[in-house]
Amino acid sequence: DIVMTQSPLSLPVTPGEPASISCRSSQSLLHSNGYNYLNWYLQKPGQPPQLLIYFGSNRASGVPGRFSGSGSGTDFTLKISRVEADDVGVYYCMQVLHTLYTFGQGTKLEI
């Protein structure tokens, strides 16, 4: 199975400051079509996960522009340009290239 490793696992931040989360895959997530099959989710307390970024760098509908995704192959990054109080929760990366989908361990963002 593909192992997804996130860092850090806990991320204390100050409102207005930037934040960055890393996600590394044990195998390349680059498809022959040029897309990286890596998605990012935010799970707020008591809610199901919500999609933030798909295929590495595409913002999902309704996601604020302060969220961005980058990377290719095995190394990916989620960045928040200026953290807001509403951004607290646990962030997960998920690979969907290899048929047994796998998630990272999660990164808890705290203010």
Partner 1 sequence: EGHEVESGGGLVRPGGSLRLSCATSGFNFGAFNMNWIRQAPGMGLEWVSYISGGGTTIYYADSVRGRFTVSRDNVKNSLYLQMNSLRAEDTAMYYCARESPPGVTTFWGQGTLVTVSS
Smaller CB separation from partner 1, 54 or 87: 54
Neighbour count for residue 80 (Cβ, 10 Å)? 22
AA identity, residue 13? V
Among 19, 23, 42, 49, binds partner 1 (CB under 8 A): 49
Among 13, 21, 25, 39, binds partner 1 (CB under 8 A): 39
Among 67, 76, 92, 109, binds partner 1 (CB under 8 A): 92
Q: Taking CB under 8 A as the rule, does residue 101 contact partner 1?
A: yes
Cα gap 89→101, rounded to integer Å = 22
Residues 19-42: b if buried by 16+ CB within 10 A, e if exposed:
bebbbbbeebbbeeeebbbbbbbb
Q: What does the binding site for partner 1 look like in residue numbers (CB under 8 A)?
A: 1, 37, 39, 41, 43, 48-51, 54-55, 60, 90, 92, 94, 96-97, 99-106
